[in-house]
Structure 1
């Protein structure tokens, strides 16, 4: 049996991140342009052969143009040299019920590190247009400093401006492709 290919439905998916600002509030950002492709041995998503996620760093949005420009600068993502974030999954582990862990390598700037994210399979349905769709909620955490995103500043009171822990969250809908 040939593997099943799935691609992201960008209209029904979103990828966001959250980081502490001044250690007292949380700022949320999004990647407006991203891609996800998956190969599964069947349609059940009980196993995954490969998942590749890419995000266009130029599409970052925190609802603040000045902050977005700073995030694209060499202080953070350095989009002139590194315009893509990439995650390639190499293992899909069943935890219990609809809960899974997706293990893979995350590449930001010129640094690649192993990362594990939690995945909840929301279900697989056929939409009104006859397309088979699978829905997922994905959550994870990374240290931005481990990926070379080390810029920071200190307030007069000694607090850091940007936290190290980045919380990742995605709502993803994948569409089965005809072979």
Structure 2
């Protein structure tokens, strides 16, 4: 039996964002993203029915629009970027709507499921074939040893345990 030839697609960072949202003091939402990341997909056709996704992000590239908060997130209270400089994701299955894979943050790997909207394939004005995806999911940060916690004088939790993931990804087909 012949193995299908896989095509590789690489992230188009100009048209992509790897973001997250988390409740702050249970009254507002803080958004952030990673600026330095890599992602690719391998698939045998443009339906992406057998797609295999991989992703990594440099923890030092976290950006929440607040330098002090970013430094705290990079510290051992959260990501410990000096010891664990990257987070990674490697897919196990994709059925067109759900992407299941192993997410590794710090020293912990957990299986996560992302809901996926596959927005299709198009050729841009420069002749490049591109594919677009919107991915959403939730993780419990404490599952990944991001356990820092504080409570305000009024009893509000400073940082919620649940982190919402929001990934908008456009991939470019290798030729």
Query: What interval of TM-score do these two structures reach, taking the shorter chain for normalisation?
Result: over 0.9
Once the 2 structures are TM-superposed, how far is the Cα of residue 47 of structure 1 from its aligned partner? Answer: 2.4
Runs of 4+ aligned structure 1 residues displaced above 4 Å come to none
Once the 2 structures are TM-superposed, how far is the Cα of residue 93 of structure 1 from its aligned partner? Answer: 1.5
Q: TM-score, normalised by structure 1?
A: 0.94
SS of residue in 2 equivalent to 1:130: coil
Structure 1, unaligned runs of 5 or more: 95-99
**RMSD, aligned α-carbons:** 0.8
Q: Which of residues 20, 24, 29 in structure 2 aligns to 1:17?
A: 20
Q: TM-score, normalised by structure 2?
A: 0.96
The answer as to whether partners of 1:4 and 1:43 remain within 8 angstroms in 2 is no
Q: For the residues of structure 1 that align with 2:103 and 2:13, how far apart are their CA atoms?
A: 21
Structure 2, unaligned runs of 5 or more: none
Q: Which of residues 66, 80, 94 in structure 2 aligns to 1:78?
A: 80
Q: For the residues of structure 2 that align with 1:59 and 1:141, how far apart are their CA atoms?
A: 21
Aligned residue pairs total: 172
Q: For the residues of structure 2 that align with 1:4 and 1:119, how far apart are their CA atoms?
A: 20
Q: Which of residues 120, 124, 127 in structure 2 aligns to 1:123?
A: 120
Residue by residue over 1:26-83, the C-alpha shift from the partner in whole angstroms, topping out at 9 and shown as x without a partner, is 00001011111110011221221x2101111100000000000000000000001001
